[in-house]
């Protein structure tokens, strides 16, 4: 029963994720998955397949153009990633392979890159998936991504034409066994950066297993130097992660500048079944802080030119030490000279006394 609930949650997650991919309310073509015999459930509209090591799986997809004009559709077989908003995403064609993945969906799947749909027509295309010979447990997740080519008028508008790109995605979930694979989270790099003109600290979180996470909760706190109260923090719930992927979770500094110094990040995670916690120290150099503060878009006037008090105090202390050293040197020198003059005076006095006698 526990396994059934787990699988049902994964299927629900995949369905919800797929349903959110379309980029516009109006689209000139439609896409339908033709489900094969090894489809695990006929009640869903995406591919959930039980595959066999070493075999070739053919996925058939029907594209329909109901308009009176010819349409060009770009297609790609994409690996699922976890984007930096903590959402499973199928829309990226060229993605970096996670270090924990033995293989990815895009490595084993191939399909036509460009499809011409005549007016008022249907066309069935095929995606070939070469299942590796070495067996695997857990899941491999990907998507068949279809994007309508922009019209010439839209292309001429440059960046304003982004809203005219219409797309569909059909999810593909591959498995070979019913063995439950549990997530294993890891914290990788922690560093200062800038995102869309905002200063932020990012923490790279990795799901190292072939397991989906449907409800991830993260709580991050950022401490400066030896302070016991966090300067910044971020708490989010209901994030999702694709198998064998990583993403950058952020703490946004909002309208505050970076201050150079030593920092500590404390991060807690929970996937609904297990807790993880990490503590990581890192340093923001003065040069790094100045670079990001100079280009931050949301800092109050003048805050991007923060006065370098640490540097000034350090220089002042050095100058004071030099001055005190000089004073001490001349003071000792004067004492020695006074002593020498006193000795000369005593000798002269003794000489005069002998002469009088």
* Widest distance between CA atoms in the chain: 140
| Residue 147 is assigned to a structural domain of this protein | yes
Helices (H) and strands (E) in the chain, counts: 5, 18
The number of angstroms, rounded, from the C-alpha of 332 to the middle of its chain's C-alpha atoms is: 62
Domain of residue 355, residue span: 308-357
The number of angstroms, rounded, from the C-alpha of 44 to the middle of its chain's C-alpha atoms is: 31
Shared domain for 119 and 227, answered yes or no, is no
Burial of 146 (0-12, 13-18, 19+ CB in 10 A): buried
Residue from 175, 149, 27, 169 nearest 91 by CA: 169
Q: Coil, strand or helix: which one is 147?
A: strand
| Residue 23 is assigned to a structural domain of this protein | yes
Residue from 234, 173, 228 nearest 201 by CA: 234
Shared domain for 23 and 150, answered yes or no, is yes
Q: Coil, strand or helix: which one is 12?
A: helix
Q: How far apart, in whole angstroms, are the C-alpha atoms of residue 44 and residue 228? A: 51
Q: Number of folded domains in the chain?
A: 3
CA distances from 237 to 55, 85, 206, 220, 267 (A): 39, 11, 17, 12, 14
Shared domain for 6 and 24, answered yes or no, is yes
Shared domain for 92 and 161, answered yes or no, is yes
Provide the token pair at 328: 């001490």
| Residue 31 is assigned to a structural domain of this protein | yes
Shared domain for 350 and 242, answered yes or no, is no
The number of angstroms, rounded, from the C-alpha of 213 to the middle of its chain's C-alpha atoms is: 16
| Residue 180 is assigned to a structural domain of this protein | no
The number of angstroms, rounded, from the C-alpha of 280 to the middle of its chain's C-alpha atoms is: 16
> Taking the CB of residue 189, how many other CB atoms lie within 10 A of it?
11
Shared domain for 32 and 157, answered yes or no, is yes
Shared domain for 13 and 141, answered yes or no, is yes
Shared domain for 356 and 318, answered yes or no, is yes
- The DSSP 8-state label assigned to residue 119 in this structure reads T
Q: Which residues pair with 77 in a beta bridge?
A: 144
Burial of 282 (0-12, 13-18, 19+ CB in 10 A): middle
CA distances from 80 to 14, 53, 96, 246, 254 (A): 11, 21, 11, 11, 30
Shared domain for 142 and 228, answered yes or no, is no
Which of 290, 305, 320 represents a domain boundary (last residue)?
Answer: 305
Which of 141, 175, 209 represents a domain boundary (last residue)?
Answer: 175
Which of 175, 209, 231 represents a domain boundary (last residue)?
Answer: 175
pLDDT in tens, the chain (357 residues): 444 444 444 444 454 444 334 444 468 899 999 999 999 998 999 999 999 999 999 999 999 999 999 999 999 999 999 999 999 999 999 889 999 999 999 999 999 999 999 999 999 999 999 999 999 999 999 999 999 998 654 444 444 344 456 789 999 999 999 999 999 999 999 999 999 899 999 999 999 999 999 999 999 999 999 999 999 999 999 999 999 999 999 999 988 999 999 999 999 999 999 999 999 999 999 999 999 999 998 787 665 555 455 556 667 777 888 888 788 777 777 777 777 777 666 666 666 666 655
Q: Which residues pair with 193 in a beta bridge?
A: 200
Shared domain for 293 and 312, answered yes or no, is no
Let me know the angle formed at the C-alpha of 223 by 292 and 277, rounded to the nearest 5 degrees.
110
CA distances from 208 to 102, 179, 235 (A): 11, 17, 22
| Residue 229 is assigned to a structural domain of this protein | yes
The CATH number covering residue 36 comes to 2.60.40.10
| Residue 211 is assigned to a structural domain of this protein | yes
State the Cα torsion 153-158-163-165 to the nearest 10°: 70
pLDDT of residue 316: 77
- The DSSP 8-state label assigned to residue 353 in this structure reads H
Shared domain for 162 and 72, answered yes or no, is yes
Say if CB 220 and CB 239 are below 8 A apart.
no
Shared domain for 41 and 166, answered yes or no, is yes
Q: How far apart, in whole angstroms, are the C-alpha atoms of residue 65 and residue 125? A: 14
């Amino acid at each position: 029963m526990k396994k059934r609930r787990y699988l049902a949650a994964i299927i629900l997650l995949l369905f919800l994720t797929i349903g959110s991919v379309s980029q516009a309310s109006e689209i000139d073509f439609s896409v339908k998955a033709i489900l094969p015999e090894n489809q695990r459930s006929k009640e869903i509209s995406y591919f959930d397949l039980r595959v066999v090591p070493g075999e070739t799986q053919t996925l058939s997809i029907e594209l329909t153009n109901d308009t009176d004009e010819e349409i060009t559709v770009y297609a790609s077989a994409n690996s699922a990633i976890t984007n930096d908003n903590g959402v499973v995403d199928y829309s990226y064609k060229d993605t970096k392979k996670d270090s924990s993945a033995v293989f990815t969906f895009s490595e084993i799947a191939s399909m036509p890159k460009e499809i011409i749909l005549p007016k008022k027509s249907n066309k069935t295309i095929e995606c070939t998936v070469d299942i590796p010979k070495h067996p695997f447990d857990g899941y491999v997740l990907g998507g068949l991504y279809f994007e309508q080519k922009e019209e010439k008028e839209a292309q001429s508008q440059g960046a304003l034409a982004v809203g005219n790109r219409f797309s569909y995605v059909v999810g593909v979930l591959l498995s070979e066994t019913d063995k439950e694979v549990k997530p294993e989270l890891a914290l990788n790099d922690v560093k200062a950066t800038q995102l869309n003109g905002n200063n932020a600290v990012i923490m790279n979180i990795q799901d190292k297993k072939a397991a989906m996470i449907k409800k991830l909760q993260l709580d991050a706190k950022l401490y400066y130097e030896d302070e016991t109260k966090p300067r910044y923090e971020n708490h989010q719930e209901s994030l999702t992660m694709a198998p064998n992927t990583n993403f950058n979770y952020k703490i946004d500094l909002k309208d505050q500048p970076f201050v150079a110094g030593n920092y500590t990040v404390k991060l807690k995670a929970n996937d609904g079944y297990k807790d993880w916690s990490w503590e990581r120290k890192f340093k923001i150099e003065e040069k790094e802080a100045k670079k990001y503060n100079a280009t931050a878009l949301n800092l109050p006037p003048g805050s991007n030119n923060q006065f370098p008090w640490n540097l000034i105090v350090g220089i002042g202390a050095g100058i004071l030490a030099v001055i005190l050293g000089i004073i001490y040197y001349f003071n000792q020198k004067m004492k020695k000279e006074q002593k020498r003059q006193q000795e000369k005076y005593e000798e002269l006095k003794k000489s005069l006394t002998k002469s009088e006698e």
